[in-house]
Structure formats: C-alpha cells, structure tokens
Amino acid sequence: MSTPPARICLVGIRGFGLRHLENIRALEAGGHAVLTSAVDRSHRAGEQPLGTDVAMYSSLAQAAEAGEPIDIVVLSTPIDTHFEQGMIAVSMGADLLLEKPPTATLAQFEELLQASKDAGTRIQVGFQSLGSHALPAIAELLDSGTIGELRAVGATGMWQRDAAYYSRSPWAGKRVLDGVQVVDGVITNPLAHAVMTALHIAGAQETGDIAELHTELFHANGIEADDTSTLSVTTAVGTPITAVLATTAAEQKDPFITISGTNGQAIFHYTRDELAITPQDGERTVQMFGRTDLLRNLIESRGPEAAALLSPLERTGSFMRVLEAVRTAEDPAPIAAEHLRIVGEGPAQHVVVPGIEELAKRAMKSPATFSSLGAPWAAPAPTGEPLRVAGREVAGVRLGTELSPTNSPRPFLHPVRTLANTVLTDQQPLDHTWHLGVGVAIQDVDGVNFWGGRTYTREAGRYVWRKDHGRIELLSSTGDETRREDTLAWIGPDGSTILDEERTITATAGTNGSWELGYDFTLTPHGAAAVNLGSPGSNGRLAGGYGGFFWRLPVVANAEIFTAEASGEDAVHGSVSPWLALTADFGGSEATIIFHATDEDPWFVRCAGYPGIGRSLAWEQPLATTREHPVSRSVRVILADGRLGAEQVVGLLAEAGIPA
C-alpha cells in the first residue's frame, strides 16, 4: 500500500447502515480501510457493539469534538439529516460517502457543495449504479453508432412495498416531518437510482443540464409522499427522459433503463449490471458487467493516482433539480379506492394499482404521462368542449398539446362512443404511440412529418427516425356541443407555419339508436407556393399510402370489414368505394362503424396488425394543395350499436340521406 488505510467513521449502524458496515469490513480485510469510529444516536456510554477497536459516539458532532482522526465519514442516516451531518463532516476536513438523496432541498445541496469546495474535501453520493462498468460500455455503444444517435432515455421501476415498509420509521412516506423537509417518495428515494442512472446516461448531471422538467405525483398508500409517479425531463441538448415509477405494482420486478437510438435500443438492468443491445438490423446480445464499489473508489481518489469519483456531489445536481421539483410540487394526488386492489393483511398488506404495468409500457414508449394516457385516476389531459348528441357526450376533444414531439402533437377526438357508451377509439397505443383517436395527420408535408413516429424515405427504402416532426395547433374554435368550427395551423419543426386548416366537426342524431359524425377539412398553403402532401406510399412503400383522415380503433375481435364490392382487409385496402363498414366486438360490446366519402381517395385499412381505418390523400403520388385549389375532404361516419350486415348498412345510409 502506497498510502495507509483510510480511517472510517460510520454514521448510522442500523438499517441500511448494516450494508455499509459489511462493506467497510470487507475493505478492512483487504487493507484499504479501517473502521475506527461509529455513530449511533441511541448509543449508551460503555457499550461497544462493533468491538473494542471502534470508538462509539452518539453524534458526529461528538466525534468531531473528541478530535477523532477521521479520513472518511460514511453517512447512512435519514434524508432530513444529510445536510446537517454532511456539513459537520466537511468542517472536520473529512471526505464523505453520502447516502442518496444528497440533501432534502436544492439550496442545501448548493450550500454543501460550496462548503466542500472551500474545504477541499470530496463527497461521493451513494448512487451505487454509477459504479457499474456497463455505463462506459453504454457511452461507447452510443459513440460507435451501433444503435444510432441517442433519441430518448427512459426509466421503469415497478416495485411492491408493504405496510411495514411505510411504518418502519417516522420519516417513511413523509414530505415534511415536524417542519423539516424529508422528501421521501418513489422518485426521490426507493427508485432514485433509476432516475439518477437515466439522467447520467442522457448526459444530464449538473444542475444546468436540465431545460424542462414536469412531474405527475400520486399516492395509493396512506402516505404523504408519492408512490406512483411519472417524471418528464428535457435535457439542455434536447434529449427527452421519462421515468415511470411505482411501489404499487402487482409484483416486484427489476427496474431498468431504456436507451432508445435512431437505429435500435438497449435495455440496462442496473441492479444486476446487465445490458441487452438490439440494433434495428441485428440480433439481440446480452452482456454482463462488474461494478466498482463507491467507497473503494472514494478511498482510491485520495491516493497518489487520484482516481476520479464515479458519483461526485456536483454531478448529482440534475437529480437535485428533480428532487426540488418533487418537493415544491403540489401534494401528490390520492388514487381513489375504486381504482385500487388491497392484497394481504397486517404489516404484509400492500396496495396494487391494477394496470400500472401496461401504463408504464405505454408511457415509456410514447413517451407520455398518466394523464396523457387517460389513466382513470389521473387528471385529464388538455381538452376542448366535447361533442354531444341529445345531451349525451359522444366524442371527447383532446388538444394534444402535452404530447411528445415525436408523436407530432395535434388535436384529435377521443374517446368516441356509441350511444350505448361503447368506446370506438384508442390513442397512444403501445404498437403505434402516434396513433391518436380520430383526426387528420399526414406523414410528408413538404418533407415535414405530421403523422408521428419514423418517416419512410425513398432514399433509405425504410422507416427512419428523423428530427422532422411538426405539430398542429388549434388557433380558434367556435360553435356548440353539436358543431365545432376550428381554425388550425400546421407548424414545422423550425416554427414556421406550412398549412392553414379550416375544420368542421358535427354530431347529429341518427335512426335506430345511431349517431353521425361529420368531419370536413380544408388544407391551404400558408405561403404563396404550393405544398405537396405525401405518404410512405408516394415515397416508395408499396400499399402504404396512409395520410389524411384516420380513425384509430381499440383492440377488436371477430371483425368484419366490407364495402359494397368487397370484403376482408386485403380486398378492401386500397379500394375506391363510397362507403366502408367495420363491425366487431369492442371489448365485449358489438358495434358497427360506417364510413362514407364522395371523393376518389382509396381506403386505407388495417386490422390484423393493428385496427385502423383511413382515407389516403396520396396513395402512390403526392397531392399538391394551392391557394387557388386547396385540398378539401368530407367524411361522414355513422356509429351504431350492434353487429350490422351489408343490407342493414345500406339501409342505415339511406335513412341518413347518404347515397350508397
């Protein structure tokens, strides 16, 4: 050894402190450290629970007053004590291994950081995952382009915590205890490693590395803090980070980080240092890595080679920005009892939010929040006035302003229902998160993607991720519950308006318990030049001419799709017919949707892969819109409960005054 073993003082010898004690003893056996003192607030004079060679104190301040020679303080105490104890350690000139989260407020973090700099001490924060050797491998993976450029990072944590967990100490599940900030909660404590690891991979480490931050906090247990939450972060360089974290899952699973590239993805299970890499055009490979102990790393940073700290305090600034957002947010909203399932009894009792795992998958894929996905216990996403028939709501109006940029945010109708309340739309489904209820979307508008997701290009001959997504904003809306007159702007990624749209949506009562949705829209160039409207089909993808009016259906069973001339998905897809009907089982209730249009656009039909019906503005060739001749389309849709055959469909169209 070129330097003597580091003299360690362990503050907190119970609970998680037992793990630190075990680690210190292992380092002691290897000649790297020696445990010379410890602090236990319940210590009584004369007691020596750690042996005669370990001086015991009831506080770190007492150890400092005694002049105990200490090189490193290992601090394993409740969150609300971190700042005060950390400042004492710094004042002693000792280096510090500080459990996460570093402090309970951002102001405390900044004060402790400055004090450490002034004193010339080192502070390592106990985010153990940052010692994983997989992290340099992930950096190399991104640098090599194996999965393309970094597109997004996500953190998923589905854990289960019982009543005993939340009653183990006075501060568990608290935001504030006796006027002192605690900030316990799923984001800041049990699954804080997931958040920190995701931030690290995305390059957000210091406080200035975050540009935007949003949280949605809920609790299902009888606690103050959050236990079911989403976190949305945009880094200073524009990388989105999403975290979906819960201690209310049906079963405990290993948390993981999703690293999405433009040409593949990687999944990092940080608790077991496992990295699974799936290039878009390659086979999945799994690699296992070792890990450097953070206390060992701190000890080695003191030596002649001065190893760099793996989790230095200053590089947890981004996490502290997250903690501060959680701390200053409104109190987490309770999830009502009707949305919960209670399992077990007594201390082993735990609360489950049914469906949280599926919500987590969709939120991660989109990315989106619980509200945006329509979780029944979450606050509603931004909406407009719904459409009603005879006072009954039949179509919700979503503004789409909260959607991810890669989903091409836009207004849409959802949920759309029959008069018997059967829901006939879906939004942000796991298979295509950019499919949004009923609306108008086009993948290629003079090179801008107003559809969402990847873009099909003739040059690549496939779908590729590009930074080409536009958004559609609702500028004005007038009318009543049966008719909306909307003005919209189609805005490119550079902020310039490409198209102006006028849209009229109507809801009218029909016969035999049906109702009719009218959907008319006109697309006009915002500037003087013509604008080309294209599709994957017009860019070379065979039979991929979607774009224009599109209706995303929920999961259906026993579906029948037919026109007057053909039946079945393959026969109807790409056909030109004045009407198309789909009848199916929608989650246990049968219903029929009849689409009618008088233009010559082909029908775009999907059912086997995913259920959706649309009209194609550009089946094989782009369509130009000009100020003199803007593109206008009109679609009428009849929604009826029950399963209807062809004769009944024709009859219903006739009763509605629509020529079949």
CA angle, 607 then 599 then 504, to 5°: 85
Domains in the chain, CATH or no CATH each: 6-128 (3.40.50.720), 130-289+314-356 (3.30.360.10), 410-468+508-516+532-655 (no CATH)
Average pLDDT over residues 351-357: 98
Return the DSSP state at 647: H
Spell out the residues 6+ positions from residue 59 whose beta carbon is closer than 8 angstroms to its own: 39, 41
Average pLDDT over residues 514-531: 98
3-state secondary structure of 35: strand
Give CA–CA dist 246/253, Å, rounded. 11
User: Are the beta carbons of 83 and 114 closer than 8 angstroms?
Assistant: no
Beta bridge partners of 586: 589
Average pLDDT over residues 120-125: 97
Average pLDDT over residues 543-555: 97
First-last CA distance in the chain = 91
Identity of the amino acid at 508 = T
Longest dimension (CA), the chain: 97
User: Are the beta carbons of 597 and 563 closer than 8 angstroms?
Assistant: no
CA angle, 338 then 339 then 342, to 5°: 85
pLDDT for the residue numbered 298 = 97
Q: Does position 2 have pLDDT exceeding 70, yes or no?
A: no
pLDDT for the residue numbered 304 = 77
Tens of pLDDT, residues 80-108: 999 999 999 999 999 999 999 999 999 99
Q: Does position 233 have pLDDT exceeding 80, yes or no?
A: yes
Average pLDDT over residues 487-497: 98
pLDDT for the residue numbered 45 = 78
Q: Does position 148 have pLDDT exceeding 70, yes or no?
A: yes
- Across all residues in the chain, what is the average pLDDT? 96
Tens of pLDDT, residues 245-302: 999 999 999 999 999 999 999 999 999 999 999 999 889 999 999 999 999 999 999 9
Q: What is the pTM of this model?
A: 0.95
Average pLDDT over residues 42-61: 89
CA angle, 55 then 61 then 67, to 5°: 55
pLDDT for the residue numbered 239 = 97
Q: Does position 625 have pLDDT exceeding 80, yes or no?
A: yes
Q: How many CB atoms lie within 10 A of CB 5?
A: 17
Confidence of residue 134 (pLDDT cuts 50, 70, 90): very high
Tell me what percent of the residues of the chain surpass a pLDDT of 70. 100
Q: How many CB atoms lie within 10 A of CB 660?
A: 16
Confidence of residue 1 (pLDDT cuts 50, 70, 90): very low
Average pLDDT over residues 438-464: 98
pLDDT for the residue numbered 3 = 76
pLDDT for the residue numbered 41 = 87
Beta bridge partners of 243: 155, 231
Query: What backbone phi and psi angles, to 5 degrees, belong to 86?
Result: -65, -40
